[in-house]
């Protein structure tokens, strides 16, 4: 496909030749809603070209269906996203601004410039960003652009939680009582929380996805949680109004997929269980929901359809319920968009919800009625994030040095890997840390779960922290296997889900040492002084390989046996092992085939050699992909070179950034006396808010940044004076 570059609103843009003209050779788009030619074009409601106003995996997902339907696709991207997969997959791609979402993916003026310049008839917002922005939907209508989503009135009614509760109550949909009024005075909201009774849920009245949602367990923490919910809501939705509701103990999060058209029809496509969450955000979803009576499922589906009809809903939407242990369910909110977890519904209903969206947006009826819809089998979705579960799920940014999965080896129609990243891509600190969605199907829940576990075993990534190991622990937990889930599942099973660091047995260290010596034999070194093989003239080759695992430093003594290049005796912590083997590369993946004391094994690995061809050997990292998780082994600098390395630890007399992000708010200044655990600053990373707290009591000596600054992970933020220091 031929492309050339032009300028669009001061941003470099890629445009496919001919994008300025329609089939009549003239520019059809006009910002005036009275343009007769535009109205004639739109009256047919045919979508020939579609702008996807989003990024990452959802943009790729929408493009896949659009291309299958013969619709030309147009991508938009921010400056740091110019090499991302969704840009390359699209037929055309346009830069819409710098990294900040407000200046790019939320910049409606630039989005409409792309629609006009490309000649697209429609825009699909995906999820997040502009997907539930009623003003954007209004603007699309006024400009004659097809908005692939519900009418703005439905977005507005359902987007304001206080309004939606009133509508749902009138429609006979059960709701949780609470305060949904306009008085936002802090003391008044505290009084209402006291009347409701703690614990209470503080929720932003706009938006969803867990943003602007906090639980206040006690009165003493109410104010801090209120302020945090407001800040995050303002950042995400440009609105900081909240509501207060009673928090349901041990609730399940069960939602129903609904679909409506402009002809007055609405159906439900069964329910999904999304109870397993961290930070009020889902990480494993499944359909249908386990351990729920069939009559309850039917009542929920019918209530969801009543909710959709009450607001004249058109397109894909999700009605979310909170369910107590007795299967009493209450309306929580309606997401007026396609959900992240929509693939599990597609798997059990044999539908393509994006195709349905596009057809309904063109004015067609829903392809199936309620009687024609059937639920077949079971499906799971695991969200793979660039985050560190062992560090409070802190998001991570960096380069994906290695990425592989079972889908790279063979194709299985019962497995979908929805992703927007590839090996070598950078995970940006500016957006959501979702890397991929692993979706599986089976004829029953047990077989589907086994397929999920198998594919998680084979999914590997190096370069950023991921939650893959954590997802495997969730999927294999006995209570999850039974389907006994609720929104506090992770907290309840904390001890089993967050065990101590992965223990490494001596044979694993032998594999690591074998990989090192075999790898060095395969290298073409400039000088023998770069070697660490322990070469000696007329003497047995002996070397000591220093290894660091989970902050513990170990040594492996390696002696070559009988002068053979692939046979060794290795000593680990006083135990001797006879080791031999080889390195193999298959389809770009490296494996170490080892025989240790007569036992043969094959282990996938990734060797990040940061300094193997440098005169001063830097720290190398070897990643072994084991069945119970990845094991990362460091080969540290020699003591002589340690002075050349500058590191920042979590201890000492200061506070560090736990992740790469932007400083949103500074809460202290020079000379302030602080107590241990006191909030010092608020950071925003990947659309999440994090409070930086004092590691110990002391006096603030230096504030090393300003509000609005971007700081790297492990950067020092404050220095303290402690006692007589």
Residues tagged active-site: 337
Nearest C-alpha neighbor of 290 from the set 497, 491, 489: 489
Tell me how far the alpha carbon of residue 459 is from its chain's centroid.
15
Neighbours of 604 (CB within 10 A): 18
Q: Which two tokens stand for residue 665?
A: 């708010």
Site of tokens 């995970």: 427
Determine the Cα angle at 417 with ends 89 and 425, to 5°.
55
Q: Which two tokens stand for residue 602?
A: 């094959």
CA 471 to each of CA 239, 387, 452: distance values in angstroms, whole numbers, following the listed order: 33, 12, 10
Judged by phi (left if over 0) then psi (alpha if -120 to 50, else beta), residue 469 lies in alpha
**For the chain, how big is the Rg over CA atoms in Å?**
28
Name 473's Cβ contacts closer than 8 Å, sequence gap at least 6.
Answer: 496, 497, 499
Tell me phi and psi for residue 510, to 5 degrees: -65, -40
Determine the Cα angle at 237 with ends 182 and 392, to 5°.
110
Nearest C-alpha neighbor of 60 from the set 468, 380, 429, 354: 354
Name 586's Cβ contacts closer than 8 Å, sequence gap at least 6.
Answer: none
Q: How far apart are CA 313 and CA 305, in angstroms?
A: 9
Judged by phi (left if over 0) then psi (alpha if -120 to 50, else beta), residue 194 lies in alpha
DSSP string, 576-631: EEEEEEEEEEETTEEEEEEEETTEEEEEEEEEE-SSTTSSS---EEEEEEETTEEE
DSSP string, 635-678: EPPPGGGGGG-----S-SSEEE-SSSEEEEEE---TT-EE-TT-
Q: How far apart are CA 21 and CA 300, in angstroms?
A: 48
Task: Characterize 198-220 residue by residue with b for buried, 16 or more Cβ atoms within 10 angstroms of its Cβ, and e for exposed.
Answer: bbbbbbbbbbbbbbbbbbbeeee
The answer to whether 303 and 174 have CB atoms below 8 angstroms apart is yes
The answer to whether 15 and 117 have CB atoms below 8 angstroms apart is yes
Q: Which two tokens stand for residue 471?
A: 């997802």
Q: How far apart are CA 714 and CA 151, in angstroms?
A: 45
Reported for 351-357, long-range contacts at CB under 8 A and 24+ positions apart, including other chains, are: 351/269, 352/65, 353/257, 353/259, 353/269, 353/316, 354/61, 354/62, 354/65, 354/66, 354/124, 355/65, 355/68, 355/69, 356/259, 356/316, 357/124, 357/148, 357/149, 357/315, 357/316
The answer to whether 287 and 379 have CB atoms below 8 angstroms apart is yes
Q: How far apart are CA 51 and CA 118, in angstroms?
A: 8
Residue 63 is classified by DSSP as H
Reported for 159-168, long-range contacts at CB under 8 A and 24+ positions apart, including other chains, are: 159/132, 159/134, 159/206, 159/207, 159/336, 160/205, 160/206, 161/203, 161/204, 161/205, 161/206, 161/243, 161/333, 162/205, 162/243, 164/331, 164/333, 164/334, 165/331, 167/310, 167/311, 168/307, 168/310, 168/331
CA 23 to each of CA 28, 135, 329, 424, 488: distance values in angstroms, whole numbers, following the listed order: 9, 30, 52, 40, 56
């Amino acid at each position: 496909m031929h492309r050339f570059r032009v300028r669009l609103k001061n941003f470099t843009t890629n445009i496919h030749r001919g994008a300025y003209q329609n089939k009549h050779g003239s520019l059809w788009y006009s910002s005036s809603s009275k343009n007769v030619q535009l109205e004639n074009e739109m009256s047919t409601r045919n979508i020939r070209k579609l702008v996807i106003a989003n990024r990452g995996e959802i943009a790729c997902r929408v493009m896949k269906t659009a291309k299958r339907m013969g619709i030309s696709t147009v991508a938009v991207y921010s400056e740091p996203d110019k090499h991302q997969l969704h840009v390359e997959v699209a037929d055309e791609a346009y830069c819409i601004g710098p990294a900040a979402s407000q200046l790019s993916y939320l910049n409606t003026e630039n989005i409409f410039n792309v629609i006009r310049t490309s000649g697209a008839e429609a825009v699909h917002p995906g999820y997040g960003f502009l997907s539930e922005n009623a003003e954007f939907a209004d603007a699309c209508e006024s400009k004659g652009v097809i908005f692939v989503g519900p009418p703005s009135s439905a977005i507005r009614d359902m987007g304001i939680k206080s309004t939606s509760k009133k509508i749902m109550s009138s429609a006979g949909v059960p709701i949780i009582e609470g305060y949904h009024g306009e008085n936002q005075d802090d003391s008044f909201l505290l009084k209402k929380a006291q009347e409701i009774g703690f614990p209470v849920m503080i929720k932003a009245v706009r938006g969803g996805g867990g943003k602007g949602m906090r639980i206040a367990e006690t009165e003493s923490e109410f104010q801090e949680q209120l302020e945090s919910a407001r800040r995050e809501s303002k950042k995400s939705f440009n609105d900081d109004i909240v509501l207060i509701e009673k928090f349901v103990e041990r609730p399940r999060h069960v939602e129903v997929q609904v679909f409506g058209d402009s002809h007055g029809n609405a159906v439900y496509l069964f329910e999904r269980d999304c109870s397993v969450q961290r930070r009020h955000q889902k990480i494993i979803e499944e359909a249908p929901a386990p351990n729920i009576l069939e009559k309850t499922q039917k009542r929920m589906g019918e209530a969801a359809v009543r909710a959709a009809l009450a607001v004249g809903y058109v397109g894909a939407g999700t009605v979310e319920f909170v369910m107590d242990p007795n299967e009493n369910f209450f309306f929580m909110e309606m997401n007026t968009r396609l959900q992240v977890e929509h693939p599990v519904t597609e798997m059990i209903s044999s539908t393509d919800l994006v195709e349905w969206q596009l057809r309904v947006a063109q004015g067609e009826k829903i392809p199936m009625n309620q009687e024609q819809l059937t639920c077949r089998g079971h499906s799971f979705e695991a969200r793979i994030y660039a985050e560190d579960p062992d560090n409070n799920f802190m998001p991570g940014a960096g380069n994906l040095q290695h990425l592989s999965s079972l889908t790279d080896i063979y194709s299985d129609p019962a497995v979908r890997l929805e992703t927007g990243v590839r090996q070598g891509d950078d995970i940006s600190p500016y957006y959501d840390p979702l890397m991929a969605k692993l979706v599986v199907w089976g004829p029953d829940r047990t077989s589907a779960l086994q397929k999920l576990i198998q594919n998680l075993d084979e999914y590997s990534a190096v370069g950023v922290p991921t939650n893959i190991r954590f997802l495997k622990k969730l999927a294999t937990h006995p209570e999850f296997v039974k389907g006994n889930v609720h929104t506090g599942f992770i907290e309840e099973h904390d001890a089993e889900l967050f065990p101590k660091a992965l223990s490494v047995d001596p044979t694993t260290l032998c594999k690591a040492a074998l990989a090192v010596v075999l790898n060095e034999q395969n290298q073409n070194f400039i000088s023998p002084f770069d070697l660490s093989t322990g070469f000696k003239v007329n003497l047995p080759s002996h070397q000591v390989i220093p290894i660091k695992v989970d902050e513990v430093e170990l040594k492996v003594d390696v002696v070559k046996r009988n002068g053979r290049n692939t046979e060794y005796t290795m000593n680990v912590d006083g135990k001797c092992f006879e080791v031999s083997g080889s390195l193999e590369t298959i389809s770009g993946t490296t494996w170490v085939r080892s025989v240790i004391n007569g036992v043969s094994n094959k282990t996938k690995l990734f060797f990040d050699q940061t300094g193997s061809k440098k005169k001063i050997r830097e720290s190398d990292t070897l990643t072994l992909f084991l069945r119970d998780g990845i094991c990362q082994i460091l080969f540290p600098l020699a003591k002589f070179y340690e002075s050349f390395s500058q590191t920042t630890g979590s201890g000492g007399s200061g506070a560090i950034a736990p992740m790469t992000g932007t400083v949103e708010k500074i809460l202290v200044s020079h000379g302030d006396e602080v107590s241990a655990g006191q909030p010092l600053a608020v950071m925003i990373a990947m659309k999440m808010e994090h409070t930086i707290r004092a590691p110990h009591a002391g006096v603030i000596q230096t504030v090393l940044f300003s509000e609005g600054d971007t700081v790297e992970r492990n950067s020092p933020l404050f220095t303290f004076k402690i006692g007589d220091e």
